[in-house]
Structure 1
Amino acid sequence: MKFSEWPYERADIQKAERELEQLMEDFRAADSGEEQFEVHRRYYALEGRVRTQEVIARVRFDGDMTNAFYEKERQYYDEMMPGFRALQAKYQKLLYESPYRDELEKKISPARFHAMELKFRANDERLIPLKKEENELTNRYMKLIAAARIPFDGRELNISLLRPYMVNSDRQVRFAAHKALAEYFDSVTGEIDEIYDGLVKNRTAQGRLLGYKNFTPLGYERMGRAWYGQKEVEQFRNEVKEWLVPFIGKLNEKKRKRLGLEKLSYVDENVYLPQGDPAPVGTAEEILKAGQTLYRELSPETGKFFDFMLEHELFDVEGRKNKRSGGYMNYMPDYKAPVIFANFNGTSGDADVITHECGHAFQGYVMRDEEVRELTENTMDCAEIHSMSMEFFTGKWMELLFGDRAEEYRQVHLESFLQFIPYGCTVDEFQHIVYENPEMTPAGRKAAWARLEKEYKPHLDYGEDSFFAEGGFWQKQHHIFGLPFYYIDYCLASVCALQFKVQMDEDFEDAWSRYLKLCRLGAGLPYTELLHAAGLKTPFEKGCVKELVEKLEQKLF
């Protein structure tokens, strides 16, 4: 059955809460770890049923944010899920405090029990009213961005459909497209400032309600960071400033000469070749068909995965009006099925869906028969390794997507991959500054962003574009609004993926076997042990970034 045909029935959250209350009674009454795990199996079924229906509703609403029925369903889950998650946290606390914990740890894993502590605080029931307000503010931002209508080239475009013009080989077209984007954000910056101000104050209130000085510790707990904290992240960012930023400077000088320019402008940020960056060849259907060939050749496991995705039409990838911007993978436990959401727009970003998002989905597919659900609950720092590494493992099949420009794509992909890390660190440090100074004004936030850009991306030249020059660029980064402190996970995972890249260039089969091992380990080990099991260094290890830069410098210069 195809995803569009899968039945949707609103999950009755109040009924689910009553079922969960009964499960808790049964769990308390159990006389052994085995009996408690039998109750826990029932919990998996209940959680999976609720999650499956919620995901179906959200994906269908994201596909058309004017759909009144699914908008009402999304509002229902935004209203009801905080209470259900708080009750889930109570249930997990019973699991955590079980007198038979030793027996349960053998079935589930000690690492997951350690991670539960963070969930308890992040889902404290006292936060429910504030979380509901937070959801409303986040969705207000998402709807504002999705509703963007930017006049350009005789058409009305959303942000995704404007992007091809922003990377056009004609520099004047790029200038015009960036100007149009800046004008749109300038026209709504007051509303965005108001939304974000509300989010910062709301999240600060959540942190303080739990006894923290600000939101940051709670933000880390939400991300499930049980194995490292702010100190380690700051150390990583400092290594990026010390080693990667100067290296990026050399790459930019190389790019400037390649483009034949006297000076790089911010409109050249995502352009790498004078003839224009390569774009995938073919329609959305043809790109997906090429992806099928790619994954069948990569390995038996990836071939079965991609066949499954196509058979059930689990790709919603065509860009259209009223569709939410961005892309993601989600998972529906009752169907043991990933689903991929994206916006194809004729740029190399379309290929990223076939590589990056499929990396997420493949790992979910690999773990689809795992009974112990906790082992499938990857924290984002691990999940992004699966996706970002897949971008490199699929590299040698890019002829299927880019034809005779495949080598150009591989060059551009590696350079842009490296360029991203300082930007991701900018997003992360910006959020630390904001939440440590919750009374900061909108103007102060923009000034902080502008200062960080000079540290992490000193080459940026906004010219006469005052909106971006004065620090407005962050307002287009939806993770800042909907997923606080998430973005650094992309950077940490990038360093891990680049290690795989260096290794696969030496021995592809060995690197792939260790990647497959990483996917199959799921969330069963602490972060550092998980990386070491796959033959990777943790990004926090002193000298990790330096060593990686030295190896890449030999490859690129």
Structure 2
Amino acid sequence: MRFSEIPYERPDIPAVVEEGRKLIEKAAHAASGEEQFAIHQEIWKKLYHVMTMYTIAQIRRDGDVTNAFYEEEKEYYDQKMPEVEALTDEYNKVLFKTPFRAYMEEKLGAVAFRSMELAMKAFDEKLIPLMQEENALATRYSKLIASASVDWEGEELNLSLLQKYMKASDRDTRKKAWDKFSAFFEGKQDEIDEIYDLMVKNRTAQARLLGFENYIDMGYCRMNRNSYTKEDIASLREQIKKTFVPFASQMHERRRERLGVDSLTYYDAGVYFKQGDPAPTGTPQEILESGRKMYSEMSEETRDFFNMMMDWELFDVFGRKNKATGGYMTEISDYGVPFIFANFNGTSGDVDVITHECGHAFQYYVSAKDPIPEHNRYLTMETAEIHSMSMEFFAEPWIELFFGEKGNDYRQMHLEDAIAFVPYGTMVDEFQHIVYGNPDMTPKERRDAWKQLEKEYWPHLDITGCGFMEKGAYWQRQHHIFELPFYYIDYVLAQLCAFQFKIKMDKDHGAAWADYMKLCKMSASRFYPELLKEARLNVPFEQGCISKIVEEIRKKLDL
């Protein structure tokens, strides 16, 4: 079946909630562990169907943000999904106290019950009005960013399509594109400040209703931090400032010399070669076909996976007007298949979709066969991002399929870009801790805090002349800060694990792939530190891990 043929029908969520409550009542009086498990499966079958319809509506709405039908569906889910969360919370409370807990824990795993506990800590029905408001604010931000229409030499571009010119080989072209990018955000700054201020106050109000001091601890519960703490993350940030930022600064200095410029300005960000960064040699359709060849040769499992993705038309990756910005992999639960959404724009980022997002999709394809859905449902993001970021490195032997004679340039750029990301991702995380730890800050105080963090994490960058950045507003382009608070450090944790896979695969590719497959198949069946141990990876926030990674990667760059 093709994605376009999958039928969509709005679920009657009030009816689902009513049916669900009847099943919860049965669950509360189950006579055996076997009966409890059967009811559990029935409840989640109903919930997965709601999630499936929600996901289909989201994908089709993101494919055309002007589609009135799916925009109305999005508004419906913004209002009704908190009711589904309330039902889930009600069921979790029953399951958590079941007299057949040992039986159910053996079936579902300890991770599931710890994750349920965190979910219950972060939810109460009295939050529903605030959650509905939070959803509406996230939608408002998303629509605002998607509405961007930049005039580029007579062509109207959205922010995703403008990226191609922001990384052009010609420096004047880059500056012009960056200035248009900056002008859009400067023109929307007051509104974005207002949206974020309302979000911070909303989330803080939710946290305090549940007895939290602020949103930080509640945010950690929502992110299902089930095996490490904010103190562990604070330790990670300090290690990165002390060890990784100086290393990244050295890399940026060599990049500056390679570009032949006096200083690295804002419009040199993400540019690695004076003659231009490597770009895909083929058309968007040819990139997909090159992906098919690569995954066909990588392994039997990846071959079957990619063929299924193509046959089911589970990609929406071609850039077009009125399409939402960004990219993601999501799951269509009823069908057990992933879906990849992105915006090809002629840059190397198009290939990153075929590696990064397909890493997510491949892991879901592998683990969806697990008869216990909880092993997928409670997968934490810092683990999920290892699958995607490591796949970027596992794809390197086939990279000439996409870049031709510029394959080595891409490999160098990819490694350096991954290094450059770590300080940025950590800065985003520290910013959010500052903001939610001090929820009464004014918008200007938030922007001033970001400016100070840029000095600590980006000492190499000259932002002179970029009004957007000079006002400390660069973070306003990062949708995770608005829609998924505290998510971004997961990318950092994962990148540090992906570096470890890179180091391993360069020494023994077969052994590294075996460890990667083991990690994919384990999904969320174990806690994060245990998963890493089984895959022979070091936990990033443990002392000394960052230093070891830097030492090995430094050798590869000959720094």
Shorter-chain TM-score tier: over 0.9
Query: Which residue does the alignment assign to 2:548?
Result: 547
**Deviations, residues 361-415 of structure 1 (Å, cap 9, x unaligned):** 0011001222211101211111111111111011111011111111110100000
Q: Are residues 1:495 and 2:516 paired?
A: no
Q: Are residues 1:65 and 2:70 paired?
A: no
Query: Which residue does the alignment assign to 1:283?
Result: 283
Query: Which residue does the alignment assign to 2:230?
Result: 230
2:389–2:495 Cα contact (<8 Å) kept = yes
Normalising by structure 2, we get a TM-score of 0.99
> RMSD of aligned C-alpha atoms?
0.8
Query: Which residue does the alignment assign to 1:330?
Result: 330
1:281–1:403 Cα contact (<8 Å) kept = yes
Q: Are residues 1:432 and 2:433 paired?
A: yes
- Structure 1: which amino acid aligns with 2:523? G
- Counterpart Cα distance in 2 of 1:174 and 1:354: 25
Query: Which residue does the alignment assign to 2:417?
Result: 416
1:20–1:43 Cα contact (<8 Å) kept = yes
Could you say what secondary structure the match of 1:338 adopts? strand
Provide the identity percentage.
Answer: 53
Runs (5+) with no aligned partner, structure 1: none
Could you say what secondary structure the match of 1:358 adopts? helix
Query: Which residue does the alignment assign to 1:181?
Result: 181
Residue 470 of structure 1, CA deviation: 2.3
Residue 29 of structure 1, CA deviation: 2.1
2:447–2:471 Cα contact (<8 Å) kept = yes
- Counterpart Cα distance in 2 of 1:466 and 1:46: 50
- Counterpart Cα distance in 1 of 2:42 and 2:12: 17
Query: Which residue does the alignment assign to 2:46?
Result: 46
Could you say what secondary structure the match of 1:305 adopts? helix
**Deviations, residues 311-362 of structure 1 (Å, cap 9, x unaligned):** 0000000111111110001101111110000000000100110000001100
- Counterpart Cα distance in 1 of 2:427 and 2:268: 19
- Counterpart Cα distance in 2 of 1:241 and 1:510: 32
- Structure 1: which amino acid aligns with 2:557? L
- Counterpart Cα distance in 2 of 1:485 and 1:31: 41
**Deviations, residues 454-486 of structure 1 (Å, cap 9, x unaligned):** 000111101222321221100101100000000
Residue 157 of structure 1, CA deviation: 1.3
- Counterpart Cα distance in 1 of 2:195 and 2:114: 34
1:396-415 matches, within 5 Å, as 396-415=397-416
1:332-411 matches, within 5 Å, as 332-377=332-377, 378-411=379-412
- Counterpart Cα distance in 1 of 2:411 and 2:555: 17
Query: Which residue does the alignment assign to 1:457?
Result: 458
- Structure 1: which amino acid aligns with 2:158? N
Could you say what secondary structure the match of 1:169 adopts? coil
2:223–2:486 Cα contact (<8 Å) kept = yes
1:227–1:528 Cα contact (<8 Å) kept = yes
- Counterpart Cα distance in 1 of 2:428 and 2:406: 32
Runs (5+) with no aligned partner, structure 2: none
1:44–1:373 Cα contact (<8 Å) kept = no
- Counterpart Cα distance in 1 of 2:511 and 2:29: 49
Query: Which residue does the alignment assign to 1:299?
Result: 299
Residue 126 of structure 1, CA deviation: 1.6
Could you say what secondary structure the match of 1:317 adopts? strand
Query: Which residue does the alignment assign to 2:320?
Result: 320
- Counterpart Cα distance in 1 of 2:495 and 2:72: 37
1:165–1:177 Cα contact (<8 Å) kept = yes
Residue 44 of structure 1, CA deviation: 2.5
**Deviations, residues 189-210 of structure 1 (Å, cap 9, x unaligned):** 0000010010000000011011
2:186–2:467 Cα contact (<8 Å) kept = no
**Deviations, residues 72-121 of structure 1 (Å, cap 9, x unaligned):** 11111110010111111110121111111111111111121111111112
2:381–2:490 Cα contact (<8 Å) kept = yes
- Structure 1: which amino acid aligns with 2:203? R
Query: Which residue does the alignment assign to 2:78?
Result: 78
Query: Which residue does the alignment assign to 2:171?
Result: 171
Query: Which residue does the alignment assign to 2:309?
Result: 309
- Counterpart Cα distance in 1 of 2:127 and 2:229: 22
Could you say what secondary structure the match of 1:541 adopts? coil
- Structure 2: which amino acid aligns with 1:456? Y
**Deviations, residues 258-312 of structure 1 (Å, cap 9, x unaligned):** 1111221121110001110011121211111100010011110011000000000
Could you say what secondary structure the match of 1:254 adopts? helix
- Structure 2: which amino acid aligns with 1:67? N
2:280–2:346 Cα contact (<8 Å) kept = yes
**Deviations, residues 424-468 of structure 1 (Å, cap 9, x unaligned):** 011110011111111111111110000000000111101222321
- Structure 1: which amino acid aligns with 2:388? S
Q: Are residues 1:472 and 2:473 paired?
A: yes
Query: Which residue does the alignment assign to 2:190?
Result: 190
Could you say what secondary structure the match of 1:474 adopts? helix
Could you say what secondary structure the match of 2:439 adopts? coil
Query: Which residue does the alignment assign to 2:482?
Result: 481
Could you say what secondary structure the match of 1:66 adopts? coil
1:240–1:422 Cα contact (<8 Å) kept = yes
- Counterpart Cα distance in 1 of 2:309 and 2:224: 29
Would you say how many aligned residue pairs link Structure 1 and Structure 2? Answer: 557
